Structure 1
Amino acid sequence: MRTPPTSHTHPITRLSIAKNTLHNLSSHALYLLLALWGIPIIIRGIGLEQFGILALFWAVIGYFTLLDFGISKAITKYFSEVAIQQDTAARQRLIWTAINTTMAVGLLSSVLVFTAIPLGVVDVFNIDTHVQEVRYLLLITAGSIPFLLLYGTFKGFLMAIQRFDVINYLQSTLGIVQWVGAVIVVAYGGGVQGVVIISIVARLLILIITVFVLPILSPGFFSNFLVYDRGVFGRVWRYGVWVTVSQIISPLYLYIDRFFIGYFLSLGSVGLYSIPQETLTRSLAIVMSFTMALFPVLSAQSAILDGGRASKVLYEKAVRTLIVLILPVLAMFIVNAHVLVGMWLGNEIADTTVDIFQVMAIGLFFNIMAQIPNTLLQAYGRPDLPAIFQMVELPVVIILHIIMIPRFGIIGAAIVWTSRVFIDAGLHFYFVRRSLDGFRAAIDQVRHADIGLMLLVVIYGSISSVCDDATSVIAAHMLFIAVYPVIAWRFALTGPEKESLAGLFRSRPR
């Protein structure tokens, strides 16, 4: 049942979403910088073979923390709802059901890893040396899985109460302890075992800190203990199963094309294809930082009487903001792809991969846009729809790869990828329009803005493609840069947004 809105049921502002997005981006950036700094030092210290063992450990950790049966995502949604409804009894039922379910799933995962260790080390990974060492490390990893999953659940609670600052302080601390600690261990002659232990200890440290922080941020968090609530468990489990389906299938789309390229063409072709794919898809981290901040807001709004109206406004603004910001960047990249890739990787690789970059950049736009309706559907309790889209698309993609790659090479794989994300985005927008009441008008408004800006981009690309001298190309760029803000102002921005921007410029000191 939805709660009537009160003065305290709308604590979220656009400013807080932007601030939370920046928190997410900053911790991602710090972790990336630490990894770029630490990995070469660790490789030099322990050798490539032992670094491969370390990578195996990281893969196991990442796999099991990702596949938590969607519990952490479900927690963020339902805790956002009960928090805004201020239902203390429902809150405690959800907390303890989530904690105990997570521990049960973690213990089961540990047992599975313990059971699989003899088979996995010798037969699957074909490791001839360091067998005992790898078994020892996997035993440590298996024992830590329940605690790693528990931190994911606690992180879901923190996301629900909008404490992304705390989450990212913890994540930053984890990154610093893990990477700096690993480098120190290697510098003093430690091996892969020391690095693994540092990684585990860092995560346990963050878990302990979180246990102390949660009752401060949410008083009474660990009160009224119970084993589990059957109704809450059913809701969390049904929601989490669909999230798990998406979590299993999504990585397949990132690697299945590489498998078929390697099978039909060569490993060298896989390498060439991976350069644009990895480069472009990594940029999704920026959008994911935004949708992470957006998800608990939309989840909370889905639980209150006037939340639908607020969600429609927020949804429309989010989609239009991405269109306005992402479209010109990708358009200029596509037009100048050969020059930019040549400056980065050299003209030889640019000549081979520029078409892949351009085709996948088009797909990236639709992939980015699909993240907003995907977040909305999950926030409004429909994680089944994105999962069903992925299940239906997967066999079609496999068939298309089998047809396209032998005939057209790696550009065929890029066309299949772009076609899939285009269709996937269309399905997301269509089913938001069809399945959620009142979102039809918001999507129609966004579509009008999209058409105007897309038309300008097509004209810009067409003019640039026929320019055969540097002066004409520069003139086309300058014209696009001058005209795009005018079209965006006319078709993409609403009246209140125009007034806010105008007021911002008027308020600037002279």
Structure 2
Amino acid sequence: MKNYDKSGSTGRKLLMGSIFRIANLAGAVASSLFLMPLIVHHLGDRVYGFWSLAWTFIGYYGLLDFGLSSAVSQYLSIAIGRKDEAESQAVFNTALRLQSILGVVALAITVGLAAATPLLCHDPNDAAFFWKVIVVLGINAAISFPVRVYTGILESELRFDVQSGLDFLGLVLRTGLITWAVLSGGGLLALALASLVGAIPIVVLQVALARRESPWARISRTPFDRKRSKAFLSYSIYTFIATSADTLRYQLDPLVISAFIGLVAVTHYRIAGVFARYYVEALLALMRLFQPLLSRHHGAGDDEAVERVFYFATKVTLSVSVFICAVVIAYGKPFIALWMGVKYQDAYPAMVVLSIAVFLDVCQSPSVGLLYSTFNHKYYTYMNLAEGLLNLAFSIALVRPMGILGVATGTLAGALAIRVVVQPIVVCKSSHISYPVYVRFLAGNILRFGVLMGVSLLILASHSVSSYTWLVGLVSVTTSVYAAGCWIFGFSGSERGQVTKAISYRRQNRFTPITPAAAEE
């Protein structure tokens, strides 16, 4: 592998990025677990349901990206892999103009939503403040569009440590401001303003640090590049459809529950889904470390390196996804009782079902990164859309007889059909990977990590959870036992050596080749 780094080993950059991302995600989980009961207990289940719906509406703004963020990261990674600064600058300027236009569109949509608020809220009193919340959150979302280009720069340069630091700083600011707003007696509008104020300093730092990392990221007055824009859109259209399908899979659930059951049930489902959401984010954070590397190898024409990194990333992802799923199932019910109160324990069955559904999805996330890196992501789009439609259909059919558990079951049904049956076949065929080898690799490692996790849980199975102290202690011991087991029995000597080299880097500046056979040692 060629040396693309400016300041050290690629392996070390990925390792440090992984550590920072995990720490940042842990902070996000802690913030969410702290803020949710604070807001619910101060504002009530119904008002929190409104807050969830407001964020659901704003979440749809992500569809306006049209997949351009992934296209920018892909083309920047390839240009960097080829050491072509002129191309990098051209990609940057084209992307910045497109994303700025989308930011203006987001503002226009915000105005439209605010005007339509009376039609969305039956109670005029609700509409009176709900439109203001939508406006503030919409402005926050609109600002994020051009900033995504600078995020793409840092990720393409493998500076996940810098990006994670910015994310963490933003998290601290938002958490502190929202806490102050709630304790000061503020309502939803105060929460929305706190989110906006907390985001502004991060935007400024994002731009400054990205420009420092990549001096070629300069705004030029060159004519609008229609040809390059068309190339972006031809790549991103499939990402856009896939993202739309993700909306069907995850973000429509609150609307289905609100329509068929009520706002109070939205809050209970939110409790069930909080770990599933961070479960997805944890594995996506891992995959985002590897995807630019896969794109660089693909840009350099090194297919063998692409496959080696893919198998290693898959094994890392499996080890983490098995752990998170098992911990949520094992400790989810007592945690809900401690965190939100016993009356919210009805969310636990839905939490279990959602955790299994998410596991089936994220344990193969490197295969999705492989499809994107090799320009085969249209197949993922088709799969995602099929799963989203199945999810929606099953959720609507099951919500009345089964409540929030029925909506969660709809998510699981779609995952079983697509992720277990279809995805391995599609990935192997489109990427020219041996299907039997890949399936044996998946099944063998799921079994291996599952056994290690089972042993870790059985050691403490006789202990009950009666307080946060006990819960933290049990999870800490389980984590330590599992991590030690994975290091000794889960990963091969070659893989352990790869991590060790990244930590103690001196002269080595590339990944040690990891083949499927070596990974099974």
Q: TM-score range by the shorter chain?
A: 0.7 to 0.9
Structure 1 residue aligned with 2:494 = 496
Q: 1:61-98 deviations in whole A, cap 9, x for unaligned?
A: 54425642222222111111111211122112111111
Aligned-residue offset at 1:293: 1.7
Aligned-residue offset at 1:28: 3.0
Structure 1 residue aligned with 2:430 = 435
The separation in 2 between residues aligned to 1:447 and 1:64, in whole angstroms, is: 35
Structure 2 contact 238–378 (Cα < 8 Å) conserved: yes
C-alpha RMSD of the superposition: 4.7
Structure 1 contact 249–390 (Cα < 8 Å) conserved: yes
TM-score, length of structure 2 as denominator length: 0.74
Aligned-residue offset at 1:105: 1.4
Q: Which runs of 5+ in 1 are unaligned?
A: 472-480, 505-510
Q: Partner amino acid for 1:129?
A: N
Structure 2 residue aligned with 1:389 = 383
Q: What SS is found at the alignment partner of 1:222? A: coil
Aligned-residue offset at 1:110: 1.6
Q: Cα 1:483–1:94, aligned 2, differ >3 Å: closer, same or farther? A: closer
Structure 1 contact 81–299 (Cα < 8 Å) conserved: yes
Structure 2 contact 253–407 (Cα < 8 Å) conserved: yes
Superposed counterparts of 1:286-305, under 5 Å: 286-305=282-301
Aligned-residue offset at 1:113: 2.4
| Aligned partner of 2:21 among 21, 24, 34 | 24
Q: Partner amino acid for 1:22?
A: I
The separation in 2 between residues aligned to 1:138 and 1:85, in whole angstroms, is: 43
Q: 1:230-262 deviations in whole A, cap 9, x for unaligned?
A: 222112112222222222221322365677678
Q: Cα 1:357–1:126, aligned 2, differ >3 Å: closer, same or farther? A: closer
Structure 1 residue aligned with 2:153 = 157
Structure 1 contact 148–203 (Cα < 8 Å) conserved: no
Q: Partner amino acid for 1:381?
A: F
Q: 1:325-373 deviations in whole A, cap 9, x for unaligned?
A: 54466568768888888888899987x7776565554434322213221
Q: What SS is found at the alignment partner of 1:283? A: helix
Structure 2 residue aligned with 1:177 = 173
| Aligned partner of 1:76 among 63, 73, 76 | 73
Structure 1 residue aligned with 2:415 = 421
Query: Does 2:80 correspond to 1:86?
Result: no
Superposed counterparts of 1:100-249, under 5 Å: 100-118=97-115, 120-129=116-125, 135=131, 138-139=134-135, 145-184=141-180, 196-222=192-218, 224-249=220-245
Structure 1 contact 243–387 (Cα < 8 Å) conserved: yes
Q: Partner amino acid for 1:80?
A: S
Aligned-residue offset at 1:388: 0.9
Worse overlay, 90-99 or 325-334: 325-334
Structure 1 contact 102–150 (Cα < 8 Å) conserved: yes
The separation in 2 between residues aligned to 1:288 and 1:454, in whole angstroms, is: 19
The separation in 2 between residues aligned to 1:49 and 1:413, in whole angstroms, is: 20
Residue identity over aligned pairs, in percent, reads 17
The separation in 2 between residues aligned to 1:79 and 1:445, in whole angstroms, is: 34
Q: Partner amino acid for 1:111?
A: A
Q: What SS is found at the alignment partner of 2:364? A: helix
Q: 1:260-283 deviations in whole A, cap 9, x for unaligned?
A: 678888989877766544444532
Q: What SS is found at the alignment partner of 1:302? A: helix
Q: Cα 1:130–1:93, aligned 2, differ >3 Å: closer, same or farther? A: same
Aligned-residue offset at 1:57: 5.9
| Aligned partner of 1:253 among 239, 249, 252 | 249
The separation in 1 between residues aligned to 2:429 and 2:370, in whole angstroms, is: 13
Select the structure of larger CA radius of gyration. Answer: 1
Structure 2 residue aligned with 1:370 = 364
Q: Cα 1:452–1:251, aligned 2, differ >3 Å: closer, same or farther? A: same
The separation in 2 between residues aligned to 1:381 and 1:211, in whole angstroms, is: 28
Structure 2 contact 242–381 (Cα < 8 Å) conserved: yes
- How many residues were matched structurally? 482
Structure 2 contact 452–485 (Cα < 8 Å) conserved: no
Structure 2 contact 49–264 (Cα < 8 Å) conserved: no
Structure 2 residue aligned with 1:477 = none
Q: Which runs of 5+ in 2 are unaligned?
A: 464-479, 503-521
Structure 2 residue aligned with 1:318 = 313
The separation in 1 between residues aligned to 2:49 and 2:335, in whole angstroms, is: 33
Q: Cα 1:381–1:124, aligned 2, differ >3 Å: closer, same or farther? A: same
Q: 1:121-167 deviations in whole A, cap 9, x for unaligned?
A: 21113351375655555555555554221112221221111122222
Structure 1 contact 100–227 (Cα < 8 Å) conserved: no
Q: What SS is found at the alignment partner of 1:220? A: coil
The separation in 2 between residues aligned to 1:165 and 1:188, in whole angstroms, is: 34
Aligned-residue offset at 1:443: 1.8
TM-score, length of structure 1 as denominator length: 0.75
Q: Cα 1:217–1:441, aligned 2, differ >3 Å: closer, same or farther? A: farther
Q: Partner amino acid for 1:287?
A: L
The separation in 1 between residues aligned to 2:2 and 2:494, in whole angstroms, is: 24
Q: Cα 1:23–1:439, aligned 2, differ >3 Å: closer, same or farther? A: farther
